[in-house]
Structure 1
Amino acid sequence: MTRTVSISLVTLGDPLAMTGGYLYHRRMAELAPAYDARLTFASFPSVAFPLPALAARRVLRTVRDQRPDVMLIDSICAAFLAPVRMPPGLPVAAILHQPPGGIDHGRPRALAQAVLDRWTYRRAARLLVASEPLGAELARQGFGDRLVVVPPGRDVPEPPPGPAADLRAGTGAALLCVANWLPRKGVLDLLDAVAALPDGAARLHLAGDEDADPAYAARVRRRLGERDLAGRVIRHGRLPKEEVARLYRDADVFVLPSLREPYGTVYGEAMAAGLSVVGWRAGNLPHLARDGREGLIVEPGDVPALTAALARLCADAGLRDRLAAAARLRAEEFPTWEDSAAVFFGTLRELTPERPAGPT
C-alpha cells in the first residue's frame, strides 16, 4: 500500500482568499487524497511588507507541529523565509505563481523582494511553476535544473441546474470578465472600451473581488458612475465557483485586458466553456489563444483596438461561433486539474524516501 505523503504549504494570509494562487492550492488540497497525499496550510499574517517576516519562526513551528514529509513554500511568502534556517532534514519545494519580486508591487519593493525570493528558492529542491513562460523566466535566472511546470486545470464545476440566464438583456452580446479589481487586470481600460461601443452592442458582466486594491477599486467605482456606462455594466462581485461556471455557460465572449498573467486560469476556463477570448498580447494569453483563431488579441494599452475587437464580436454572431468552437477545441489540449495534480503530487513525492506515484 502506498504511504500517504503529508505536505505543509506555507502561504500568506487566508488560504480561502479568492485569487488564482489560493484557488489553485485549495483545488490541490481537495484532490490530495486521490494521490495518497494530504495538504495542510501554515500562514504568515497578512500585514504590510516586510512585517510578515517577523512571524517566520512561529510559522516554521506550525510546520514542525504538522509533521510533514515535505514543506512547500508559496511564492507569495517566499521572501519572508529568506532570513531563517529551514527545518533540518525536511525536504523543501516551492510553488510559484509569480516571478521573483512579485507582479503587483512598486519597483523598490519588487527589487528588494526579488533578492529575498531568490535566496529562498536556492534552498528548494524543486520549483513548481504555473506556466511555461514563468518557467522560462526562472530558467534565465539560473533555476533551470529544478523547475517543473504544473499549470492549473482548465475544468470548472458544473453550473447549478436551470435554464440559461439572459445576460444580453436586449443587447447584441454578453461580455464576461472574471477578475479581481487590480491595476494589472485592466478593468478601467475595459470600461473605457465598453463605453465606446455603439449603443445596444453589449452588456458587460464583471465578477471578482471588488476590494482587492481599495485605491484602484475607488477609481473603478467612479468610472462606473459616469454617464457613458449607464446601463452597460452588471456587477456580480465575488461568486462561488459554481456561479462563475454559470456565467461562463451563459456569456457570449470572455474579455480580460490583463497586462501580466503568469498563467491566466480564467482564460483557460473560458475557452473550455466554449467562449472566445479577448485581451492584450501580454502575459500568458498569447500562449493559450491565437489572434483570429480562438480569440482577438490586441496590443497592450490600445483601448480603441480593444473596442474594435469587442465591436466585431458583438456584431458578428458567426465570428463568435467560429472562434468559440476553436477555443473549446484548443482547450482540450490544456491539462485538467487531475492531470496537474498527478504531476504536482508526483513531484513532491519524489522528494521523500519512498517514491511510488499515481492516483488510487
Structure 2
Amino acid sequence: MKVALLTLGDPATMTGGYLYHRRVADRAAANDARLDFVSVPTWPWPLPVAAGPRLLRRLAQLHPDAVLLDSIAAAYVGPWLPKKGLPPIIGMLHQPPGGIDHEGLRRYTQQILDRRAYRFASKLLIASDDLADTLRAAGLPADLLTVVAPGRDPADNPVAPEGDLRQGRKAAVLSVGNWVERKGLLDLLEAVAALPPDAVTLHLVGDPDVDPDYGARVRVRMKEPDLHGRVVAHGLKTPAEVVGFYRAADVFALASVREPYGTVYGEAMSAGLPVVGWDAGNLPHLARHGVEGLAVPPGDVRELTTALRSLAYDEPRRRQMAAAAKIRSESFPNWDDTARVLFTEIRAVVEETRT
C-alpha cells in the first residue's frame, strides 16, 4: 500500500508532529506499506496556498493508494479540493482547525480552510484523546475520528549527557520543547527562580531559535542574578540524546498552555520520571495529579513552584511518583503499536473505497 503524506516544509524538523511521521514512516515496510513525503513550501502566510494546485498534481502523479493530510498543511490545499484523480484523503490531526500557534485573522482564516479540507476526508486520525474531545466539541463528525496516539519510546541506544545533572542540588529538572511561547518557558523560569538556591538545576532541551523574539526573552531572563548557575540550555538534541537526558534527570516539567498530546510527557513517564505541568491539554489524560505527577492550575506560577519544591525535597515521594509514572506509561502505545493502528486505519479506508 502506497501512502503519500502531505506536510509542511522539511520532514526532518524536530517537533512532535514531524517526529511522529518519521517514526511511522520507518515502520511502514513492517506494515506492508510505503509512506512518501510531499511538502508544502514554507513561504510566509498565506502564500503557500498558491502552491496547492501544483502539490495536488504531484500527489496524483505519485498514484498513491491514499493521501495522509497533515493538519499543518490542510489549509494550503483546502481551497483546491475536491481534486479529480486523487485517492481517498485521510486527515492526520496534531492540532485543531486554525492551529495552536496563531491568533487573530490568521487563526480565523486557517480555521475555515482547515475545515474545508477535512470535509473531503474519509477519516480523521487524531493524535490524542484531548484533541479528539476538542474536535467533537467543535462539531467535527465523531464517526470519522480515531485516536492514534504517539509512541512512548523515543529512541533506542540512548546517549547519556556528561556529568551529574543535579550539579550539587537536590534534583535535576528536565524540560524538553522548542522555545516558543506556548511552551511556557518563562513561567518555568519564574518558578525555578522562586525556589531556594539548593533545590533544582533546570535543564532545557530544544531549539532556542524557532521564535527569535521569544528566545531572546528567555535568554535575558536566564541571565538575571536569581537564576545564575541554576539553568542549563542544551539546544537541540537527537532523539537518542533526549533519552539520555530523561534517564539522567529526576523530574520532568513542561509549563505548556496548549499541548494537543504532549509526546514528551509520555516519553518522560516511560523513562520513570514524575511529570509536572499545567492541568490543561492532554496532561490530565496521561498523568493523575498526585500519583504520576503534579498538574497545577494553568498560569499559577506559585503553585508550579510549590510542585517543584515538593518533588525536589521529598525524595521518597518523588521516587514513588517515578515508579507510578513508569507503570502508567506501560499502558501507552509504543511506536510499533502506533504504526500498526495507523496503517490498519488507512488500509481499511482504501479497501472500503475500492468496494
Q: Deviation of residue 142 (structure 1)?
A: 3.0
What is the CA–CA distance in structure 1 between the aligned matches of 2:205 and 2:148, rounded to whole Å? 26
State the AA in 2 paired with 1:104: D
Q: How does 1:208-357 map to 2 (within 5 A)?
A: 208-353=206-351
* Residue 358 of structure 1: aligned partner: none
Residue in structure 2 matched with residue 110 of structure 1 by the alignment: 107
Opposite residue 63 of structure 1, the aligned amino acid is L
Q: Where does residue 17 of structure 1 map in the other structure?
A: 13
Alpha-carbon contact 1:129-1:149 (below 8 Å) kept: yes
Counterparts of 1:21-170 in structure 2 under 5 Å?
21-85=17-81, 86-140=83-137, 141-160=139-158, 165-170=163-168
* Contact kept in structure 2, 1:60 and 1:87, CA below 8 Å: no
Q: Unmatched 5+ residue regions in structure 2?
A: none
- With 336-345 and 86-95 compared, the bigger mean Cα shift is at 86-95
The alpha-carbon deviation at position 206 of structure 1 amounts to: 0.3
Cα distance in structure 1, aligned partners of 2:341 and 2:6: 19
How many residue pairs get matched? 351
Measured in 2, the distance between the counterparts of 1:172 and 1:20 equals 30
The superposition leaves residues 20-67 of structure 1 with CA deviations (integer Å, 9 ceiling, x where unpaired) of 100000001101000000001111111211110111112122212322
Deviation at 1:89, TM superposition (A): 4.8
CA distance in 2, matches of 1:37, 1:163: 36
Counterparts of 1:268 and 1:336 in 2: how far apart (Å)? 10
- Aligned-partner residue type, residue 202 of structure 1: V
The change in CA–CA distance for 1:295 and 1:336 in structure 2 (over 3 A counts) is: same
- Give the distance between the partners of 1:129 and 1:105, measured in 2 at CA: 20
Over residues 190-237 of structure 1, what are the superposed CA-to-partner deviations in whole Å (9 max), with x where a residue is unaligned?
A: 011111110111110000111111111111111111111110011111
Q: How far apart, in 1, do the equivalents of 2:30 and 2:157 lie?
A: 23
Structure 1: how far apart are the matches of 2:165 and 2:122?
48
Cα distance in 2 for residues equivalent to 1:318 and 1:353:
53
Question: Structure 1: where are the runs of 5+ without partners?
Answer: 356-360
Contact 1:165 1:250 in 2 (8 A): no
1:108 to partner: Cα distance: 1.9
In structure 1, distance between residues paired with 2:84 and 2:37: 16
Structure 1 161/284 Cα, relative in aligned 2: closer, same or farther at 3 Å? closer
| Aligned 8 A contact 1:7 1:40 in 2 | yes
1:201·1:311 contact (CA, 8 Å) conserved in 2?
Answer: yes
Question: Secondary structure of the residue that 2:14 maps to in structure 1?
Answer: coil
**Alpha-carbon distance between aligned partners in 1 of 2:306 and 2:129, rounded to the nearest angstrom:** 30
Specify the SS of the correspondent of 2:28: helix
Fraction of identical pairs, as percent: 55
1:75–1:318 distance in 2 versus 1, CA, 3 Å: same
Letter in 2 for 1:57: P
Determine if the alignment matches structure 1 residue 192 to structure 2 residue 190.
Answer: yes
How large is the Cα RMSD of the aligned pairs? 1.5
TM-score for both structures, normalised by structure 2: 0.96
Amino acid paired to 1:53: V
CA displacement, residues 73-96 of structure 1 (integer Å, 9 cap, x when unaligned): 100011111111324351111100
Equivalent residue letter for 2:329:
A
Deviates more, 1:321-330 or 1:333-342: 333-342
Is the CA contact 1:164–1:250 (under 8 Å) kept in the aligned structure 2?
A: no
Contact 2:159 2:240 in 1 (8 A): no
TM normalised by structure 1 equals 0.95
Deviation at 1:351, TM superposition (A): 2.0
How far residue 164 of structure 1 moved from its aligned partner, in angstroms, is 7.8
